[in-house]
Structures are given as structure tokens and as C-alpha cells.
């Protein structure tokens, strides 16, 4: 059977064995929950509660601050203690709503209109109201993504089940444990775009998930399953679009420009909860893993839960880690503290006994060209990184540096251990900032 793939890429140890077989376990927070108002791309949400207010789980506590923004809901019942700046997993300080958890987890009553009587506008309204954002890590508000300029031009709804980032297994567990919910969510999105077909892309290191999904869509003319070659970054939006449709996009384009919409497995499942059940987004699956973790696992976590509680739920550290990462080892961010809340985009806590990156001292480029051979965008990272380091941003842009997808494949393969991805990321940010100014 031919596997779908893309040009370039690398093959890091996937590390899935740590948590792959651990069923999703619901974890209820013990302490206060902290809800940053910026858990998404776009304008921060605006708090609509004040200190002393009593709230229920599922109650809106902050409303979208603009078109590209998202509502935020309490994940527990309790009392608002403060609205004040708190540190996020990304290491930034963001205004946050702090709720004293009463431990009772009383929820609001959810109301959903019968789906077969809902208009497209009402479906989009339910998704917007639920505060759903991309749960693969980007955090782009889903209602915006599902409202392209020309809905009739959308030909493919692609569900990203690749989960190519090493160690993370939350999406895999969702496909294994609640595949029907994923299919139901995909059908809701397909109903918004009658001309579109659904494609569920899954890497072939998850053969059991592929088989499960194929069985569920057998005979369905609208939905197919694409077996993807296990290769990083297969799950990157541009790589996935090319692998499944043969279409290409660049930094100045949206997937919709190529007739595609891409959503992560967890996002699609959240759409089903919002539209069919009227339930807003205030929980997600988080993988706690790594060789420093005593009992790696996958947890259904309520937003705002302190990450230290999740570490404790996974048995704590069997050995003090040298590095702790929010996300995976390729695109995640090193954390200087774990005293932070699990937000909508927090997919994984990775704790490693050895910090292999810091142990490697970069040396001069040996011009081997390996970074070029693995770049999924066919760029020249060794050249672009130097331009970025010397702040030669105009030249960086001329050599298409903005096309970098920040996957880290170049740094991974570099025998000189140069910080290519970090430099490329810095240069790309500068290019995009300059474009916004213009």
C-alpha cells in the first residue's frame, strides 16, 4: 500500500512507547485553577467576572475580545479569587482569572438545539460560543477557520491524526477510545461545506487507529482515511495538505486558498461536544511523559489545572529531570517552572533525565547540506540562520526565510549542533512583524 508523504523530513525516535498504551484518565484539579485570558491566537478574551463572584463549571468567565479571539469558561465551581497576571506554560505573564476550587465541580445546564434543525450559521455560532481553538498547539479560533471567504471553494476537510511530534499520544488515545466522536465532529464540519470530502490522516505507526477509523467510515462516500508515512513533520499543516491532496501553500496563503481546512483530532471532537451537546471547551487530553516520569499517561485535564498536580497524578518524577518541556521535543518550549496552568493549547508535559541539547556545544558549519535535504520547505537553513543572526532581515526574506514552518528538522539533523531552528524562528518573526507594519 502506497503511503502519503512529503519531501524532506527526519526520523527522530518517536518516544510513543512511554504513554501509548495508557488509557485516558480523567483528572479533577484539587487546588485553585488559573485561566489566562490569552489561550489562543488573536486578541485576549475580556473577563466578565470579578473577585468574589461564584461560578460553575462550564460558565463563561471571559468573552472573545475581537473577531479572532475565543471565549473562556470556568472548569470548576468555586469563587473568583483574583484577576491578575500569572505565568503561562510559554513563560509569559498574562492576565488570568484565578478561581478557588470548591471541589464540588457543579456544572451549568447545557442546552443544544436539535442538530437536524440547526442552520449553518447556528452551527458556527455554537462553535464560536464554545470557545473552541486549535488544540494541536496553534490555538487559532476554530470558528474563524470554518468561515472562509468562499465556502464553496473548500474541497477537503483534513483531520490531522498524524501526531508526528515525538512522545505525545493524546490524539492517538482519542482515536482509539472515542473514534465515533471524531467521525461525528467531522460530519458536522462536512455539513458546512457540501462540496467537501473528509480525509483523516494518520501516520502508519498507528496501524490500530487506522484500522479502527477505516472500519467506521467503510462505505462512507464523504470520508476516507489516508495512511501517512511516519516521518516528522508529517503533521505540519503544509506537509499534511501536500501529502493528502498534492496541493501546496506558502506563508502568504491560508489552507483555504488551496481548498482545504485542517483541524486536529481533539478540535474535531470538541466541535461535536459543542454542537450536539452544547458543551463548551474547558478540558482537553494532556500527555505526561518522558523517562523522568514515574507513570507516564494521558489525562483528561480541565483547563487551569496546575501542571504540578498533573506531575503528581503521573506518579511524580522518579529522577529529577534536567529538562522539562511544554509540548514535544521538536517544537515544544523548555519550561523554567511547572507552577503554571494547563491551558487550551497545552498538549504535553515532557520531562527528560538528560538535557541532550544543552550538552551539545555548537561548532562551525561544515557545509554538509543535511539541513537542506531534510527541510520540508526546501530552504537553506545554514544560510538563513546566519542572516537572521546578523539581522539581515531583507536578505533573509529574499531567500524565502518566512516559509520556515519552525519544525526543527534542521537543528535535529545538524552534525555541528547549530541552533538553526532558533535563528530561523527569530528571523521569521521579524519578517512577519515588518509585513504587519507595511
DSSP assignments along 209-272, one per residue = HHHHHHHHHTT-SSEEEEEEPS-BTTTSHHHHHHHHH-----TT--GGGGTEEEEEHHHHHHHH
pLDDT at 429: 93
- Give the span between the Cα atoms of 199 and 228, in whole angstroms: 11
Per-residue pLDDT at 335 exceeds 70: yes
Question: And the C-alpha cell for 189?
Answer: 464540519
What percent of the chain is modeled with pLDDT above 70?
99
Arithmetic mean of pLDDT, 209-227: 96
Does 382 or 432 have the greater pLDDT score?
A: 382
Residue with the larger pLDDT of the pair 358 and 41:
41
Give the three-class secondary structure for 96: strand
Domains belonging to the chain, first-starting first, are: 115-277 (3.40.50.11540), 370-437 (no CATH)
Indicate the annotated binding residues: 365, 368, 371, 375, 404, 407, 410, 414
Residue 310 contacts residue 148 (beta carbons within 8 Å): no
Q: What is the mean pLDDT of residues 312-316?
A: 98
As annotated, the binding site for [4Fe-4S] cluster includes 365, 368, 371, 375, 404, 407, 410, 414
Given a cut of 90, whether residue 356 has pLDDT beyond it is: no
- Cα 202 to Cα 229: distance, rounded to the nearest angstrom: 9
Give the start-end residues of each E strand in 77-232. Answer: 78-87, 93-101, 156-160, 197-203, 223-228
Question: What is the residue-averaged pLDDT of the chain?
Answer: 95
pLDDT single digits (tens) 131-169 = 999 998 789 999 999 999 999 999 999 999 999 999 999
Does the pLDDT of residue 303 top 70, yes or no? yes
Residue 187 has pLDDT above 50, yes or no: yes
For 73-80, what is the mean pLDDT? 98
pLDDT of residue 420: 95
b/e sequence 214-233, b meaning 16+ C-beta within 10 Å: eebbeeeeebebbbbbbbbb
CA gap 158, 239 in Å, rounded: 12
Beta partners for residue 264, in sequence order: 160
- Grid cell at residue 118: 440547526
Whole-number pLDDT of residue 2 = 55
Q: Which residues contact 143 (CB under 8 A, 6 or more apart)?
A: 124, 127, 128, 132
- According to the model, what pLDDT value does residue 182 have? 97
pLDDT at 68 over 70: yes
Q: How confident is the model at residue 1 (pLDDT cuts 50, 70, 90)?
A: very low
pLDDT tens for residues 5-53?
A: 888 999 999 999 999 999 999 999 999 999 999 999 999 999 999 999 9
State the pTM of this model. 0.94
| pLDDT tens profile 401-418 | 999 999 999 999 999 999
SS3 of 273-338: the string is HHHHHCCCCCEEEEEEECCCECCCEEEEEECCCEHHHHHHHCCCECCCCCEEEECCCCCCEECCCC
Half-sphere exposure in the Cβ direction for 371 (13 Å, CA): 27
Range 63-85 burial, b when 16+ CB lie within 10 A, else e: bbbeeebbbbbbbbbbbbbbbee
Amino acid at each position: 500500500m502506497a503511503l502519503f508523504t512529503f519531501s524532506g523530513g527526519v526520523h527522530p525516535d518517536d518516544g510513543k512507547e512511554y504513554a501509548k498504551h495508557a488509557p485516558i484518565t480523567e483528572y479533577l484539579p484539587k487546588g485553585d485553577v488559573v485561566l489566562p485570558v490569552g489561550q489562543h491566537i488573536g486578541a485576549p478574551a475580556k473577563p466578565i467576572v470579578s473577585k468574589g463572584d461564584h461560578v460553575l463549571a462550564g460558565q463563561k468567565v471571559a468573552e472573545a475580545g475581537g473577531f479572532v479571539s475565543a471565549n473562556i469558561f470556568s472548569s470548576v465551581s468555586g469563587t473568583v479569587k483574583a484577576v491578575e497576571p500569572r505565568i503561562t506554560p510559554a513563560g509569559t505573564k498574562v492576565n488570568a482569572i484565578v478561581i478557588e476550587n470548591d471541589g464540588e465541580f457543579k456544572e451549568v445546564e447545557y442546552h443544544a438545539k436539535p442538530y437536524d434543525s440547526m442552520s449553518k450559521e447556528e452551527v458556527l455560532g455554537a462553535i464560536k460560543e464554545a470557545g473552541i481553538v486549535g488544540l494541536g498547539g496553534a490555538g487559532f479560533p476554530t470558528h474563524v477557520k470554518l468561515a472562509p471567504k468562499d465556502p464553496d471553494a473548500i474541497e477537503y476537510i483534513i483531520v490531522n491524526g498524524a501526531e508526528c511530534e515525538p512522545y505525545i499520544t493524546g490524539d492517538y488515545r482519542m482515536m482509539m477510545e472515542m473514534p465515533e466522536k471524531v467521525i461525528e465532529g467531522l460530519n458536522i464540519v462536512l455539513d458546512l461545506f457540501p462540496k467537501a470530502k473528509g480525509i483523516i490522516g494518520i501516520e502508519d505507526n498507528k496501524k490500530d487507529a487506522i484500522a479502527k477509523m477505516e472500519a467506521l467510515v467503510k462505505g462512507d462516500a464523504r470520508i476516507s482515511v489516508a495512511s501517512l508515512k511516519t516521518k516528522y513533520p508529517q503533521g505540519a499543516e503544509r506537509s499534511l495538505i501536500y501529502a493528502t491532496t498534492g496541493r501546496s501553500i506558502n506563508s502568504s496563503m491560508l489552507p483555504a486558498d488551496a481548498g482545504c481546512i485542517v483541524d486536529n483530532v481533539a478540535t474535531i471532537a470538541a466541535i461535536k461536544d459543542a454542537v450536539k451537546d452544547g458543551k463548551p471547551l474547558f478540558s482537553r487530553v494532556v500527555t505526561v511523559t518522558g523517562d523522568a516520569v514515574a507513570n507516564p499517561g494521558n489525562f483528561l485535564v480541565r483547563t487551569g489545572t496546575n501542571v504540578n498536580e498533573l506531575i503528581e497524578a503521573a506518579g511524580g518524577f522518579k529522577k529529577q529531570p534536567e529538562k522539562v518541556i511544554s509540548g514535544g521535543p521538536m517544537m515544544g518550549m523548555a519550561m523554567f517552572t511547572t507552577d503554571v496552568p494547563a491551558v487550551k493549547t497545552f498538549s504535553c508535559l515532557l520531562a527528560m533525565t538528560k538535557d541532550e541539547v544543552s550538552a551539545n556545544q555548537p561548532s562551525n558549519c561544515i557545509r554538509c547540506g543535511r539541513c537542506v535535504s531534510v527541510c520540508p520547505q526546501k530552504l537553506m537553513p545554514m544560510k538563513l540562520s546566519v542572516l537572521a543572526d546578523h539581522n539581515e532581515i531583507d536578505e533573509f526574506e529574499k531567500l524565502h526565510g518566512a516559509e520556515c514552518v519552525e519544525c526543527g528538522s534542521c537543528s535535529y539533523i545538524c552534525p555541528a549542533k547549530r541552533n538553526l531552528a532558533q535563528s530561523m524562528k527569530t528571523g521569521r518573526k521579524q519578517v512577519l512583524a515588518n509585513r504587519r507594519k507595511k
